[in-house]
Amino acid sequence: MREVAVAGIGQTKIEEQWEKSLRELAGEAALCALEASEFNRVDAVYVGNMMSSSANHQQHLGPYIADWIGMRYAEALRIEAACSSGAAAFRAGVLAVASGDVESALVVGVEKMTDSPGDEITAALATAADADWEVDQGITFVALNALIMRRYMHEYGWEKKDFAPFSVNAHANGSHNPFARFQSPISEADYLKAGMIAEPINLMDASPMGDGAAAILLLPFESSSLKPGLKPVKVVASAAATDTIAAHGRKEATWLKAAELSSKQAYSQAGLSPKDINVFEAHDAFSIMAALSLEACGFAEKGKAPRLALEGEICPTGRIPISTRGGLKARGHPVGATGVYQLVEVIQQLRGEASGTQVENARIGMAQNIGGSGSNLITHILKTA
Amino acid sequence: MREVAVAGIGQTKIEEQWEKSLRELAGEAALCALEASEFNRVDAVYVGNMMSSSANHQQHLGPYIADWIGMRYAEALRIEAACSSGAAAFRAGVLAVASGDVESALVVGVEKMTDSPGDEITAALATAADADWEVDQGITFVALNALIMRRYMHEYGWEKKDFAPFSVNAHANGSHNPFARFQSPISEADYLKAGMIAEPINLMDASPMGDGAAAILLLPFESSSLKPGLKPVKVVASAAATDTIAAHGRKEATWLKAAELSSKQAYSQAGLSPKDINVFEAHDAFSIMAALSLEACGFAEKGKAPRLALEGEICPTGRIPISTRGGLKARGHPVGATGVYQLVEVIQQLRGEASGTQVENARIGMAQNIGGSGSNLITHILKTA
């Protein structure tokens, strides 16, 4: 396998982007990534998107976006793995370049969620769960996560307030990110008084949806087209694993088995261990998911992730900084684009471009994207060359 | 790049499968492919599907199907490229195995279309076209193809009856395929008296939808797990190209530029030319598409594909047999599964298992899957080793 490197990145602000169409949103991020790498032609475009079928009445985003950004005739397709669609598209790009078949792969994550009524978006999000065995029983995604969080609190004796640091850290970091949906810090008191959505998950545990796109251009590491002067970042691990689509089917409700598997594979590919990771973009769609990811990936002992957070170790100056540009909680969660945002942010950290929340001497970064309630886990490790 | 070989194939009959759920349908084909290859564990599952989001209120088909077939924890995701989703998923499997990252890839194409009302399916199919610039104008997929067919007849002087051989050949071949939706031969008279859908396309020019799934297990060609005794089939070319998503944006309405590009790439990868191809599974969603594919891939001169068909050269005994197991027209067109069916049929031909329509001495076969009205073209060439 060839080594794969990052040539350029791009992203849009996450917000209600009603004045831009789906293709304009994707185009903005994609053209930014191409411009950054001084590239005007790519072999392939891999689009990560979850819900354009219902939210925008548009599928077939491959040619839809490729032509819009001037890549007519290039290979182009869409990858869907629910909320992990972004990382799945990135992995497709990595494998295509690594195989030698594709010389340049543009990965675009895009989601435009705020044009549609809320009940339609709730229904679209529910397609990531089991239609027969979960959704037909009336459960929503927040409710699924609430069940898991309640069980976790019960098993390990944590209280609601112990989850505050996840949200507080995310919002503090997001306040330095001009692309973040929410750029205001919050206090523990703000967290505790937020309205309840599905007990014990309140508004400050849940990531906001939004419209946004992020893009990354991948080239072979040995390519002479890599722009000189830019700090080179290599993809040193790419691993994916799944679990049952229905949460109730899993052996242990409070353990992300697929996260354990995909992170172990990733560490093994890179010849690294959790202690080598300088920055970790975790999938904090809900506070509980950030906690479970930290444990499954070996950054905290089982049942002890809130302790890590309470001790400040998830902050940019801590032992394992997460959500360094706001995470899903504050940067926002345009579902199919999120995985690409996470990777863009890891790259910013490795290049030393994470103004305001730069992790000192960040050389190795990891991003983990979760699809469904823990049914699809995709882990990447990137490293400065 | 490692060479990639076929280890096993499976398919379901295409019909109204109301008694089976989406996962049962996919599972039937997938388990058949695994059983055929005596495999009970795979690294990755790539699902080709277009419209489960709307037709089945279920996305995230990766873990949904992987777990169902006993592949819990394996990597699993869905690829969407409209009606070319099946070949796109196959190509993802080929690249993953070729890269060396994945040792075994199960490709599953599945679509369950007949549970939903016709207007919902028409709307779902329309998401393959440009929502803003085609669909909002009220055009359907049949109408788009009708415009192209009418223009083609006008430019090259063909009459309606000249297209009869495409449909007659497909139905004759389908009558030998136990998995085909339609297994009755038709005559030229039947073709001519069929009801008009969107002039000049009548019912016998248009492929039927249906519920169905097909699956292929891919391994490295050098793998010791390839079942001995089975005729080995290698993937010698895999190429994809796109064009504008909106038909009106293309330079020439009656020329599939992306088919030309992806077939040329495929020939070049395999070191072959059109005259080397013994069997060609073309994407005959409409008669006109079969004609345009034959021309763009170099099997007929521009504007002359109907001549090839009228002379019997597309029949199993002709120069370039197409739709040898019924094609989209008679075997059926469960959209996201179709590309995998085409490949399964090419493999059957190369193995000498195409009972009733076996092409003599078939050693090299090609399959071409079309997404949208010609906006996504994926070409594979397979060869007996």
What is the complex's ipTM, to 2 decimals? Answer: 0.97
Chain A environment of B96 (Cβ under 8 Å): 95, 99
What are the helix and strand counts (H, E) for chain A?
13, 11
How far apart are the C-alpha atoms of B225 and B107, rounded to whole Å? 17
Q: Is residue B357 less than 8 Å (CB to CB) from chain A?
A: no
Q: Is residue A376 less than 8 Å (CB to CB) from chain B?
A: yes
Q: What is the pLDDT of residue A236?
A: 98
Whole-angstrom distance between the N-terminal and C-terminal Cα of chain A? Answer: 17
For chain B, which ranges sit under pLDDT 70?
Answer: none
**Tokens coding B143:** 């109408």
Residues 33-52 of A with CB under 8 A from B: 44, 50-52
Task: Print burial letters for B352-379: b (CB count within 10 Å at least 16), e (below 16).
Answer: eebeebbbeebbbbbbbbbbbbbbbbbb
Q: Residue B304: how many CA atoms within 13 Å on its side-chain side?
A: 9
**Tokens coding B256:** 């599939």
Chain A environment of B95 (Cβ under 8 Å): 95-96, 99, 101-102
List of residues 6+ apart from A239 with CB closer than 8 A: A261, A262, A263, A265, A266, A269, A378, A379, A380, B75
Q: What is the pLDDT of residue A229?
A: 74
Q: Is residue A111 less than 8 Å (CB to CB) from chain B?
A: no
- Whether residue B107 contacts residue B46, with contact meaning beta carbons closer than 8 Å, is answered with yes
| Beta-strand pair B196-198/B201-202 | antiparallel
Phi, psi (deg, nearest 5) at residue A75: -60, 140
Q: Is residue A116 less than 8 Å (CB to CB) from chain B?
A: no
When scoring A22, A144, A245 by the number of chain B Cβ atoms within 10 A, the one with the most, hence best to mutate, is: A245
- Whether residue A216 contacts residue A107, with contact meaning beta carbons closer than 8 Å, is answered with yes
How far apart are the C-alpha atoms of A13 and A1, rounded to whole Å? 35
- Whether residue A292 contacts residue A163, with contact meaning beta carbons closer than 8 Å, is answered with no
Chain B, nearest residue to A96 by Cα: B95
How far apart are the C-alpha atoms of A110 and A118, rounded to whole Å? 19
Chain A, nearest residue to B100 by Cα: A1
Q: What is the pLDDT of residue B349?
A: 98
pLDDT tens-digit series, residues A154-184: 999 999 999 999 999 999 999 999 999 999 9
Asked if A244 and B80 come within 8 Å (Cβ–Cβ), the reply is no
Sign of CA dihedral B130, B132, B137, B138: positive
When scoring A58, A77, A83, A264 by the number of chain B Cβ atoms within 10 A, the one with the most, hence best to mutate, is: A77
Q: Is residue B139 less than 8 Å (CB to CB) from chain A?
A: no
Asked if A131 and B92 come within 8 Å (Cβ–Cβ), the reply is no
Whole-angstrom distance between the N-terminal and C-terminal Cα of chain B? Answer: 17
Q: What is the pLDDT of residue B18?
A: 95
How far, rounded to the nearest angstrom, does the alpha carbon of residue A151 sit from its chain's CA centroid?
25
Q: Is residue B123 less than 8 Å (CB to CB) from chain A?
A: yes
- Whether residue B322 contacts residue B290, with contact meaning beta carbons closer than 8 Å, is answered with yes
Q: What is the pLDDT of residue B228?
A: 75
Q: What is the pLDDT of residue B385?
A: 85
Asked if A376 and B127 come within 8 Å (Cβ–Cβ), the reply is no
Q: What is the pLDDT of residue B226?
A: 80
Option in A63, A76, A92 nearest B92 (CB): A92
How far apart are the C-alpha atoms of B135 and B121, rounded to whole Å? 14
How far apart are the C-alpha atoms of A336 and A65, rounded to whole Å? 15
Q: Of these residues, A83, A171, A315, A380, which one is catalytic? A: A83
How far, rounded to the nearest angstrom, does the alpha carbon of residue A322 sit from its chain's CA centroid?
12
When scoring A50, A72, A380 by the number of chain B Cβ atoms within 10 A, the one with the most, hence best to mutate, is: A72
Integer-rounded Cα radius of gyration of chain A: 19
The Cα of A299 is separated from the nearest Cα of chain B by a number of Å equal to 21
Closest alpha carbon to B369 in B348, B347, B341, B350? B341
Asked if A127 and B1 come within 8 Å (Cβ–Cβ), the reply is no
Option in A95, A132, A371 nearest B96 (CB): A95
Closest alpha carbon to B337 in B128, B113, B184, B141? B113
Instruction: Please provide the DSSP assignment of B182-220 as one string.
Output: ------HHHHHHSPEEETTEETTTB----BEEEEEEEEE
Angle at A254 between CA A251 and CA A259, to 5 degrees: 80
Instruction: Please provide the DSSP assignment of B134-186 as one string.
Output: TGGGT--HHHHHHHHHHHHHHHH---GGGGHHHHHHHHHHHTT-TT-S-----
For chain A, which ranges sit under pLDDT 70?
Answer: none
SS3 A275: helix
pLDDT tens-digit series, residues B274-327: 999 999 999 999 999 999 999 999 999 999 999 999 999 999 999 999 999 999
Q: What is the pLDDT of residue B44?
A: 98
Return the number of CB contacts < 8 Å for A and B: 200
| Beta-strand pair B4-11/B212-220 | antiparallel
Q: What is the pLDDT of residue A231?
A: 82
